[in-house]
Chain A
Amino acid sequence: DVVMTQSPLSLPVTLGQAASFSCKSSQSLVHSDGNIYLHWFQQRPGQSPRRLIYKVSNRDSGVPDRFSGSGSDTDFTLNISRVEAEDVGIYYCAQCTHWPPYTFGQGTKLEIK
């Protein structure tokens, strides 16, 4: 199984400042079709998860452009350019290249300083 490791586990950020989330996989996530099926999700307190980014760097519909994703092979990053209060929650990465099983990282909790 592919193990997804996120860091840090907790990320205190000042409003208006940038935030960066790391996600590393135990093996390359490049699919035989050339795509990388690495997605990012946000889970606000008390809510269901919501996908923000699909295939490394593509924003889902309605996601603010302050969210961006990057990376390749085994190393991926989610960035928030200017953190807002509504961004508080837990952020998960997930790999959908090598399945079953689909695997999620353990999550990074974003909080406001």
Chain B
Amino acid sequence: EMQLVESGGGLVQPGGSLRLSCAASGFSFSRAWMHWVRQAPGKGLEWVSVIKSDGRDTSYADSVKGRFTVSRDNAKNTVYLQMNSLRVEDTAVYYCASDGVRVEFSAFDIWGQGAMVTVSS
């Protein structure tokens, strides 16, 4: 079964840091691009970041650029999201999602269950 499992969410104060992990199984992780998408409470979906299969190329939403860093370890089948200088408005469920696993060049084909990040004092 193709699966993504996020971990690392929690409560953090404004200005703090948190690292999310997303472990993949059941598919060829090293060949897939990986995304992070977030959803603030009661709101819609917002794309956050993407990392290509070899980890050399990354892109970010303007709202997180310079504060968040995506990385991956293909030996561990895991993608990470390092979140620094967190703001109250970063409070959301963070999903990892694969790209091109089921069908080539088709994004967001498999989703994890999400990790809740709450930024509050």
- On whether the two chains bind one another, the answer is yes
Counted as pairs of residues, one from A and one from B, with CB atoms less than 8 Å apart, the total is 69
> In this assembly, does A60 line the interface, its C-beta being within 8 Å of a C-beta of chain B?
yes
**A contact residues around B103 at 8 Å (CB):** 54-55, 58
Closest Cβ neighbor of A58 among chain B residues: B103
**A contact residues around B97 at 8 Å (CB):** 49
Beta-carbon contacts under 8 Å, A74-101 to B: 90, 92, 94, 96, 99-101
**A contact residues around B108 at 8 Å (CB):** 39, 41, 49, 51, 94, 96
> In this assembly, does A61 line the interface, its C-beta being within 8 Å of a C-beta of chain B?
yes
Once the chains bind, are A50 and B111 in contact (CB under 8 Å)?
Answer: yes
**B contact residues around A21 at 8 Å (CB):** none
Once the chains bind, are A100 and B61 in contact (CB under 8 Å)?
Answer: yes
> Does more than half of chain B's interface fall in helix, strand or loop, or is it mixed?
strand
Give the size category of B's interface with A: 20 to 34
> In this assembly, does A106 line the interface, its C-beta being within 8 Å of a C-beta of chain B?
yes
A: which residues have CB within 8 A of B? 35, 37, 39, 41, 43, 48-51, 54-55, 58, 60-61, 90, 92, 94, 96, 99-107
Instruction: Kindly identify which residue among A37, A48, A99, A107 contacts B106, using a CB–CB cutoff of 8 Å.
Output: A37
